[in-house]
Amino acid sequence: MSELKNKKVLVTGAGGFIGSHLTEALLERGASVRAFIRYNSRNHWGYLEELPSHKKSEIEVIAADLRDFQAVSKSVKGMDIVFHLGALIGIPYSLNYPFDVVATNINGTLNILQASLDQSVSYTIHTSTSEVYGTAQYIPIDEKHPLQPQSPYAASKVAADKLAESFYRAYNLPVSILRPFNTFGPRQSLRAVIPTIATQLLEGEKLLLGNLEPRRDFTYVADTVNGFIHLAERPKVEGEVFNLGTGKDISVREMIELISRTLGVEARVEVDAARTRGNQLEVMQLLSDNSKAANILGWKPSFTLEEGIRRTVNWVKEQKGRFKTHLYNI
């Protein structure tokens, strides 16, 4: 029996890529799930709409804005565990609209932390990103690697992480930080490189991409979700930070070759200047040291890159006509 059975849990960012998968996994473990999604007039629940009807009926949905403390406080009330995934994550978007990203990622996190403290939530899990490390000073990257943000998005996540740490130290808030490395899989938007490559190849177009040399540690979404589950089920790790990654990296160029082989097509690549971030902005290598998560949480990735790509490509095939592949998604 899962230790999360009958627990009352809140997932912020529940309509997003990782959040929707986490919500589904929590339901499967018998948790009572409240989903916080960003308000829209269409009453659309994002990728929660992908869930079967019987699962959607089990979710309590609150549609609001993380920047609104009253809404956040209402959503946190009565919860045992808070999974805070809600954020604006686009790096190019953060370059164009840093005020929006800062307000959501920093003030939104502050609201979650304060509400969790006010209402004595048993455990809060804050989601970070490997982008906080910037281009690696050494590899593999462990949790002690310097934080050197190279975009407003990364800077906002550093600030949010430090707020979480400060609430643990100053107020004894039971909070921990998960730092996923480049999660991929079904339901990911075209802001990410893997669905961008797959959709363009499936439409028979030439590949319009930015820099092909950066290397990333790609982790399949089910493994990232299992990291959240492992952390929620492990007591007495408050105040800790955990990397979630495979410990292997691959360049964008190599990823193109892998996806091309999976689809059985030939890629015609063209570098698009609009998608190139420049030397000061581009994080060139992210490769995780996941030993802390393995040793303390008992977590390790289960999916190979090849299997994850196969599952992701199959999902992308099912989305034919859904994506605007001719546009650069920021």
For 280-323, the pLDDT digits (tens) are: 678 999 999 999 999 999 999 999 999 999 999 999 999 877 78
Question: Are the C-beta atoms of 140 and 287 separated by less than 8 Å?
Answer: yes
Range of weakest confidence among 110-119, 240-249, 263-272: 263-272
Average pLDDT, stretch 46-66? Answer: 96
Nearest alpha carbon to residue 180 among 260, 70, 63, 85: 85
Confirm whether 19 is domain-assigned. Answer: yes
Give the burial class of 302: count Cβ atoms within 10 A of its Cβ; 0-12 exposed, 13-18 middle, 19 or more buried: exposed
Q: What percent of the chain has pLDDT over 70?
A: 98
Confirm whether 294 is domain-assigned. Answer: yes
Which residues are within 8 A (CB) of 98 and not within 5 positions of it... i.e. 6 or more apart? 152
Confirm whether 24 is domain-assigned. Answer: yes
Confirm whether 272 is domain-assigned. Answer: no
Residue 26 domain boundaries: 8-185+219-248+286-303
Confirm whether 263 is domain-assigned. Answer: no
Number of domains observed in the structure of the chain: 1
Amino acid 57: pLDDT? 95
* CA separation, residue 267 to residues 158, 189, 198, 257 (Å): 37, 21, 10, 8
* Separation between Cα atoms, residue 254 and residue 249, nearest integer Å: 10
Amino acid 269: pLDDT? 84
Amino acid 205: pLDDT? 67
Confirm whether 85 is domain-assigned. Answer: yes
| CATH at 115 | 3.40.50.720
Range of weakest confidence among 67-81, 208-222, 259-273: 259-273
How high is the mean pLDDT of the chain?
94
Tell me if residue 93 falls in helix, strand or coil: helix
* Separation between Cα atoms, residue 61 and residue 55, nearest integer Å: 12
Confirm whether 258 is domain-assigned. Answer: no
Q: What is the pTM of this model?
A: 0.95
Amino acid 1: pLDDT? 61
Confirm whether 178 is domain-assigned. Answer: yes
Q: Which residues are catalytic?
A: 153
Range of weakest confidence among 81-95, 254-268, 275-289: 275-289
Average pLDDT, stretch 27-33? Answer: 98
